[in-house]
C-alpha cells in the first residue's frame, strides 16, 4: 500500500486536471507527486527499490479516480474499479490479471531501454518510471492500444470492419494493434489474452467486431494482431473508460522497468551511446 499522505497529495494534485484526461496522463502526474513525497527515493539498493516499486504501483492505482466499488484488495481489482464503472465478471477480471502478468516485462522495448538509460545515470526509481511512461504513450508502443480502441469504436457491427481497415490502408496508415518488430508470425501474448477475452464474453458484440477486423487483416495478408489489439478488445468488452488499455500496460510495466533499473544500479556505469557523423563532408578551414 502507498503511504496515506503521499496518496492524498497525488489525489489533490489531479483536481485541476480536465475530467476527461486519459489515465496515462494522470499516471505521469501521480508518479511525480509520489516521488516528491518520498524521502527514501534516493535509496538505490535492491531491497529499497523493491519496496519503492510496491508503494508506487499501489499508489498509481489508488490515486486514479474511482469509477466503481472495488471488489477486493488485489491490484487487478483495485485497477478495475478505477477504469470501469461496472463491477467485473470473474472471467474478465482474470483477463486483466493475465494482462498485468503478460505486460510486466518485454526485454528491451523502447520504454525499457529509456528507463535503463535513466537508471544508469542513477536517476531515482520515480524518475526511471517517468521516463518509461513518457515513451510508453507513443503510438508505436503502448499507445497503440488506444489507437486500436478507437478503431474498434468505429465498428458498430462486424460488417463495417472491412471499410474501417480499407480507409486506413488507403491513407497509408498503420493499423493499430497489428504487427510487431519482434514477432513476425504473430504475438503470442496477444493470442493468449484474446482467447481469454473470447472465452469470458462469448457472443459479445465487441468480440465480434474484433474478430471481424482480424479476418479482414488476414484476408489482406496484413500483419497479425498483437498484445495492444487484445488489450483494446478487453477494455471494449469490459466497458472501460477511454485509454484504459494504456493504463493497464503502464501499471504492469512499472515492475519490469524497476527490475531493469536495479540491474543498472548494480552495474554502476553510465549507459552512454555514441553517434557517427553522416552529414555533408567537412570542408578544410582556410589557414
Q: Which of the residues are catalytic?
A: 180, 228
Q: Give the largest Cα separation in the chain, rounded.
A: 80
Q: Are 35 and 126 in contact (CB under 8 A)?
A: yes
Per DSSP, the chain holds a count of helices (H) and strands (E) of 13, 0
- CA 240 to each of CA 64, 79, 231: distance values in angstroms, whole numbers, following the listed order: 14, 11, 11
Question: Which triple of cell numbers denotes residue 71?
Answer: 471488489
Best CA proximity match to 6, nearest among 66, 52, 49: 52
Exposure class string for 96-126: b at 16+ Cβ within 10 A, else e: bbbbbebbeeeeebebbbbbbbbbbeebbbb
Q: Are 141 and 250 in contact (CB under 8 A)?
A: no
Amino acid at each position: 500500500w502507498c503511504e496515506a499522505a503521499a496518496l492524498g497529495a497525488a489525489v489533490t494534485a489531479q483536481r485541476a486536471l480536465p475530467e476527461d484526461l486519459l489515465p496515462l496522463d494522470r499516471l505521469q502526474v501521480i508518479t511525480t507527486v509520489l516521488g516528491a513525497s518520498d524521502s527514501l527515493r534516493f535509496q538505490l539498493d535492491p531491497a529499497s527499490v523493491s519496496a519503492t516499486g510496491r508503494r508506487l504501483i499501489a499508489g498509481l492505482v489508488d490515486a486514479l479516480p474511482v469509477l466503481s466499488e472495488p471488489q477486493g484488495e488485489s491490484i487487478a481489482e483495485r485497477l478495475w474499479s478505477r477504469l470501469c464503472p461496472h463491477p467485473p465478471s470473474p472471467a474478465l477480471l482474470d483477463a486483466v490479471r493475465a494482462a498485468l502478468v503478460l505486460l510486466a516485462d518485454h526485454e528491451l522495448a523502447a520504454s525499457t531501454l529509456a528507463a535503463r538509460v535513466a537508471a544508469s545515470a542513477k536517476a531515482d526509481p520515480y524518475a526511471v518510471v517517468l521516463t518509461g511512461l513518457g515513451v510508453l504513450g507513443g503510438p508505436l508502443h503502448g499507445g497503440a492500444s488506444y489507437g486500436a480502441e478507437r478503431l474498434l469504436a468505429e465498428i458498430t457491427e462486424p460488417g463495417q470492419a472491412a471499410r474501417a481497415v480499407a480507409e486506413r490502408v488507403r491513407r497509408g496508415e498503420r493499423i493499430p494493434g497489428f504487427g510487431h518488430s519482434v514477432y513476425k508470425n504473430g504475438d503470442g501474448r496477444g493470442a493468449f489474452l484474446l482467447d481469454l477475452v473470447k472465452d469470458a464474453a462469448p457472443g459479445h458484440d465487441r468480440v465480434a467486431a474484433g474478430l471481424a477486423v482480424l479476418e479482414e487483416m488476414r484476408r489482406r495478408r496484413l500483419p497479425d494482431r498483437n498484445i495492444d489489439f487484445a488489450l483494446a478488445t478487453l477494455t471494449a468488452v469490459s466497458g472501460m473508460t477511454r485509454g484504459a488499455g494504456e493504463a493497464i500496460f503502464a501499471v504492469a510495466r512499472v515492475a519490469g522497468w524497476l527490475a531493469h533499473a536495479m540491474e543498472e544500479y548494480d552495474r554502476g556505469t553510465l549507459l552512454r551511446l555514441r553517434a557517427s557523423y553522416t552529414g555533408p563532408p567537412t570542408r578544410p578551414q582556410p589557414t
